[in-house]
Homo-oligomer: A and B are copies of this chain.
Amino acid sequence: MTAIDNAVRNGVDTATLFATIDAVRGDTDLAKFQFRATNRWLSGTHNQSTIHGFRGAKQEMTHRQPFTFDADHPPVLVGTDNGPTPVEYLLHALAACLTAGIANIAAARGVTLTEVSSTVEGDIDLLGILGLSDEVRNGYQQIKVSFTVRGDDPEELRTIVEQSRRRSAVFDIITNSVPVSIQVSTD
């Protein structure tokens, strides 16, 4: 490990990052995580999730505080606009995952970033979810992410974004699908 590997760069403690990866390499069970959200319906399309506890590194943990988020539909979709729609939260998740990866990978490669900003656009035809067409899918037909990335090694920036895409959890979930099981209790 060279001196540059030990630097805090882009706000990333690279020494701790590399030590964490080494620890997981030595005990792969540390890598098994379970994340959770609990949700409560409030009224109409308005509901609220809380995110607090998760399991990982062979122990039960919590975030430093419970985080709560309201979701709703806007008036044009017969809601009361108390928060973004669920599909907008999904775009946020994608942008956030790719951006965190860019910062980590740049730090690991010794590249100092000055800006990472992005716009994510998702095109959706609501004929699906409104039940007006069986040929139109319910979800987004396509998603486009537009990044602006600036840093001290312009040649390397595109390969950093590409590596973040290759290792992004949310990108994988959206582009490769995940099995979802639903259980219902009515007791």
A45 at the interface (CB under 8 A from B): yes
Decide: A172 near B31, CB < 8 A? Known: A92-B89, A113-B41, A165-B182.
no
Residues of chain B within 8 A (CB-CB) of A42 are 11
Check if A84 sits within 8 Å of B51, measured CB to CB. Answer: yes
Check if B78 sits within 8 Å of A13, measured CB to CB. Answer: yes
Check if B146 sits within 8 Å of A167, measured CB to CB. Answer: no
Across the interface, name the chain B residue whose C-beta is closest to A57.
B76
Decide: A183 near B88, CB < 8 A? Known: A138-B172, A176-B137.
no
Residues of A within 8 A of B (CB): 10-13, 16-17, 20-21, 24-25, 28, 31-47, 49, 51, 54, 56-57, 61, 63-64, 67, 69, 71-74, 76-81, 83-104, 107, 113, 115-132, 137-150, 154, 157-158, 161, 165, 167-187
Q: Which 8 A-B pairs have the closest CB atoms?
A: A11-B43, A11-B44, A71-B96, A41-B116, A139-B172, A39-B95, A86-B97, A139-B173
Q: Pull 23 A–B residue pairs with CB atoms less than 8 Å apart, ordered by A.
A: A13-B44, A33-B125, A33-B126, A34-B122, A35-B121, A37-B119, A45-B100, A51-B88, A56-B76, A56-B77, A69-B89, A87-B93, A89-B90, A128-B169, A131-B167, A139-B173, A140-B178, A143-B181, A144-B181, A144-B182, A161-B182, A174-B178, A174-B180
